[in-house]
Amino acid sequence: MSALDTSVRAKRSLAARVASGAAGGVLRVFLLLVALFWLVPAFGLLVSSFREPTDIAASGWWKVFTAPSQLTAKSYRSLLENGDVTHALFNTVWITVPATLLVVVIGAMAGYAFAWMDFKGRDWWFMVVVALLVVPVQVALIPLSDLFGKVGIFGDIIGVVLFHVGFGLPFAIFLLRNFFAEIPRELLEAARLDGAGEARLFATVVLPLGAPAIASLGIFQFLWVWNDMLVALVFSDSSSQPLTVALQQQVRQFGSNIEILAPGAFISMVIPLAVFFAFQRQFVSGVMAGAVK
C-alpha cells in the first residue's frame, strides 16, 4: 500500500512539475511580450531621432523598415550644435548628481542616528520626519521662492538642488531608518567591543549591510530629480534650466525644430533607463530585502 502511495505521489509530482514548467513558460512569454510592448514608444522615439523632419511629418517611424535609407545622424548633429540644449544637459547633471548624493549621504547618517543612537526626543523627531512625507511639493513652491530670492539663490542651480534635497530627505530617512533598525543588535555590540566608535561602526558595518537599500534609494532619487520639470521650471532661469525645461521651451517651436526635440527627448529618456538597468541587481536586492524584513 505504501509503495502504491509512493508511486502515485511520484506520478503526481511529475505531472505537477510538467504543469508548473508549462505555466512558467507561458508566464515568461507573457512578461516578455509586456516588456517589448512597453519598449515600443522608446524604440519609436529612437528611430524618429534618426529621421529627417520631412520624413517624420510624412509618415510614421515604422516606415524605416521599408525605407531604411531614411536613417541619418543629422538630427544629433543639430542637437550638438544647439547650445541651449547641450547646456541644459550639463545643468541636468549638475542638478541630479549632487541632489542624489546629498540625499543618500545625509539620509544614511540620519537613518542610522534614528535607528541606533539615543538622544532626547528621538521618537518625536522621527514622527516629524514621517509627517513631512505627506507634504506636497506644490505647497512649498511660493514660500521657498520668496526665501531663495531673499537669500540670493533663486534662479541658480544651488536653489534647485536644495529644494530636491529638502523634499527627498524625509523619504530617505524613513526608508533607511527602518532598514538599519533590522540589523542585529548583537552585531553592532560585537563591533563596539572590538573598539569601533560610531563613525567606524557606521562606515564598516552599517553601510555595507545597508547597501541594497541605499542603492534603491539612490535610483529612486536619481530618477525623480532627472525627470523633474515642475521644480526646475519654478526655481531655474535660462542659464540654469535642466533638459526637461529646455525641451519644453523647444516645444513652442515644434514645427521648426523637430530635429532637436526627437534626439533630445531620447537622450533625456535613455540616461535614466541606463542607470536603472545598470543598478537593477542592487535595486531588486533592496526591494526584496525590505519585503523580507
Query: What is the dihedral sign for C-alpha 222, 37, 39, 264?
Result: negative
Distance between CA 75 and CA 82 in Å, rounded?
11
Look at residues 2, 231, 266, 282 and name the one whose alpha carbon lies nearest to residue 95. Answer: 231
pTM over 0.85: no
> Grid coordinates representing 91?
545643468
Distance between CA 92 and CA 98 in Å, rounded?
10
Q: Do 165 and 60 share a structural domain?
A: no
| Helix ranges restricted to H, 50-64 | 53-58
Cα→Cα distances 270→171, 179, 189, 190, Å: 26, 30, 45, 45
Q: Do 49 and 170 share a structural domain?
A: no
Q: Do 94 and 62 share a structural domain?
A: no
- Which of 23, 41, 70 is where one domain is finished? 70
Angle at 84 between CA 79 and CA 89, to 5 degrees: 75
HSE on the CB side for 158, CA within 13 Å?
Answer: 6
Task: pLDDT tens for the chain, 293 residues: list them.
Answer: 455 455 544 445 555 555 555 556 777 888 888 888 888 888 888 888 888 877 777 777 888 887 777 788 887 887 777 778 888 889 999 999 999 999 999 999 999 889 888 888 888 999 999 898 888 888 889 899 999 999 989 989 999 999 999 999 999 999 999 888 888 888 888 888 877 777 888 888 888 888 888 888 898 899 899 989 889 989 988 888 898 888 887 776 555 567 777 788 888 888 888 887 777 666 555 555 544 44
φ, ψ at 59 (rounded to 5°): -155, 170
**Domain extent at residue 94:** 80-288
Q: Do 103 and 49 share a structural domain?
A: no
Q: Do 229 and 100 share a structural domain?
A: yes
Number of compact structural domains in the chain: 2
Q: Do 192 and 229 share a structural domain?
A: yes
Q: Do 182 and 121 share a structural domain?
A: yes
Query: What is the dihedral sign for C-alpha 134, 139, 140, 143?
Result: negative
